[in-house]
Structure 1
Amino acid sequence: MQRPTESLAATLAALAHAWDSGDVNSMTDAGLLSVNEKLSAMRRQLDGLHMRVAAEISSRSRPELGKEGLARKTGHRSPAKLIAAATGGHTGDAHRLIHVGEASRERTLLSGQSAPAQRPHVAASVSRGLISVCAAAAIVAMLNRIAMRVSATLRDEAERVITTQATRLTLDELNAVLRRAEAHLDPDGLEPAVTELHGERSVKIRHDASGMILIDARLDPESGAPVVAAIEGIVTQQLRTSRGHNQRGMAAEGAPAHGASEGQAESGAIAEETRSLAQLRADALSALCAHGLGCDRSELPLATTTVVVRIAVEALESGSGVATIDGIEQPIDAATARRMAANGEIIPCVLGTDSEVLDWGRAKRNFTRSQRLALVERDGGCAFCHLPPQFTEAHHLKWWSRDGGTTNLDNGILLCTACHHRMHDEGWKIRIERPPKVHPTAGTVWFVPPPHIDPGRTPRIGGRRRFDPQLWKLSA
């Protein structure tokens, strides 16, 4: 096996040959690309050597050595500080070198016997210059997170597969792969992670000295998916319109483009897009908010914009497993996916074996505006906690796709987001009672608590009927 220093020497020799005269400006395209490849390989190999050095520095600076530790003897508080001082970089980068180096070096057990590296596949790839230290650190961190819940055999196979795949990925792409890999390797750890993300959601609004309004949003996958879908839907439509205009151009000087009327050509109704992507998104957010405040503008291209949740049929039925949201890198647990799938505005894609599509939700399943007004008349707002209607969404009691539920008033209910979570997470049951030949707005909503909340599971009345004592008595 070639030693790391020998591999580095070979790369240096190849780089010297490819450099030609050393004049970058006079290089051919092929020569420039060759030098870039050689420099990248050399950098990865140097980092591989550096991580081994960093791990040894850390070993010689162990806390139990006290003042005799290498870092302390050279006037540094920690090995990371020592390395950062030498590189002129961040201590975080030095910590990364140390952690990857420690996971990639051979170990000595308490018995004094030697043991292979904790992450042998990562060690081999970094030493050969196939992956960067940043990529190696991301892989090691993911494997460490699942170490207590996944068998050693499965972890080793995952490390081998992911390390091989990492040679063809950018760091951003690798991080997306690692998120999904972790979700599938440790599905039991996904739900608490998604719940934690949901608890950390926030939007901060402030004004700076120049008068700009600064909005800083941190949204979990469930909360952020509709936001991303709506904004990107508008931006995509605007870019498509602008691109089509640019491609058509003018058929002849002074003549309108094919497919454009003379009025459009004269008025410039379809103008060339000059806004940046960030500006397009800002304008899309503003348009959405204006529309939500009651603006009667109808040009927002959202009719074909949907949030698609993909989930295996086994996970949908059992409530245990992993699901993904189109356009969102972070996977979600099956319970969150089931809750989202119950939303009339989220489209579920249910997959069987070999990713065969078993069922697609359809846009027609959404409650109409008239149906929502009727639900408001019956429920008054959130049927459980009574928040005003503007804070609620219409949900299917029997899921439209999974249970064959219909989009009618007997199968609909208004719930706020918090109560929607509570119904699904805690196991509440909901039923609508309506005497025959009575308008659906006269129906009564009942909430049946789970046994751990009420062992007797006594139904609790909801909606507007909760405030009518006579109807409460009659229904009870």
Structure 2
Amino acid sequence: MEALLDTLRGTVEQLRDLTAQGLRRGAIRAAADVDLMDALRVAGDAARLADALLVEGAGEVARRSRMPERDLRLSTRLGCHDVNELLQRLTRLAPSSTARLQRAARAVLVEHRLDGEELPATLPAMREALIDGQVGVDGLLAVAGPLEAMGDRVGREDLLTADAVLAAEARGEGPDAAPPACADLLRVQATVWAAALDQDGAEPREQRATRLRGVWFGRERDGIIPIKGALLPEVAAQFQRICDATGSPRASDSGVSFHPDALEADPVLPDPRTTAQRTHDALATALFTAASSELLPTLGGAAPTLVISVRHEDLLAGTGWAHVDGVTEPVSIAAARHAGCAGVIQRVLLAGNGRIIRIGTEERVFNKHQRRAIALRDGNCIIPGCGVPAAWCEIHHVTDHAQGGPTHTDNGVLLCWHHHRFIDTGTWKLRINHGIPEIQAPRWHDPSLRWRPVTTSPTRLRDRTVRRT
């Protein structure tokens, strides 16, 4: 062991010198493309070999910390609460990384019986690939996860067959003669092997997934309510399709066109939102669309309706706060405007002491006939480059309802949830000119700041083309 430690220390010092040369002296920055690729490839080789030492070492630390008597455990003797804490202190890795080392070690650690006889590793071929530096922790776990999940439902011989084939794929020696497989490809292949060998595994896996599914809301903080959860695969896939449909800037086959004098710039504009923000807005779109579909179960005899209350004076002035039923913290006036524009408005007059003086009738902002007509005219969300289809859009009062704007097709335009929610604070301006929606693009897109009619309606686009010809 002394010789191994001396060699390792010498290797680390050489790597430290090479790293200083590559980073501090700019060798990496000045490298040609082919040399940069080779440097990364060799660094990957070194990282996988280091992984092998870390995995084996973590496994041995875990083995020496399995003593029944706590005081005899290695982790306890070194003043640590458990193996994970000891590995964190030794390697300076995060708890999640040291936990991954322990999981990897369980798949390839060689155990011994009480009489000293060696027991083979769970995945012996993957162990050899790890020792040879052909696979690292990521690749090893990508294989071990699906194969170990089969448990004892699959015989040892079948498990060893899968192990051997997947190790060959990691080396680039598989039956398809493909280059060495990366971790993601190994995960896909291991999953296929598990599905083929474990025909009875789907049902217990489904039961396990069913128990684990859930969505949890946290406590509101700074105007945001955190959410976390675990979705069943088909639910996640359906949500991803919704995200794809509402987040694609080219969702409309007909595209977006200004009329007349279309801008020479590409009308598909960059979306300033992050991926997480687009996912949030897709979820909001799906929820508000479902709530307004009249297909959900009722609450108290009515469709599930988001109730937002606001003082009439604050709504007119655009200042102050609104309140959402079921949420303790107040929300902005913009949220109240959005809800009033897309849902139902009912005016309740209260006396100074809180007594209800008058209850107005509910006013649904746009009926289905008006919505169809507006959809025919506008096509999709009218903000250029958005393309969210009409069925997913809300109808926005160009002149606000609280300001006396009529519920008329000459005062309504299609906007997706995102653009509807932030139209008042965004850079796009809207107006209706003789019954036709017009857009004023931001200065960075159209320095002239001209008002331009806009539509994605294929009928209107075709009519305009016929007129020009």
**Larger Cα-atom Rg:** 2
Question: Normalising by structure 1, what TM-score?
Answer: 0.49
Greater RCO structure (CA 8 Å; 6+ sep): 2
Question: Normalising by structure 2, what TM-score?
Answer: 0.50
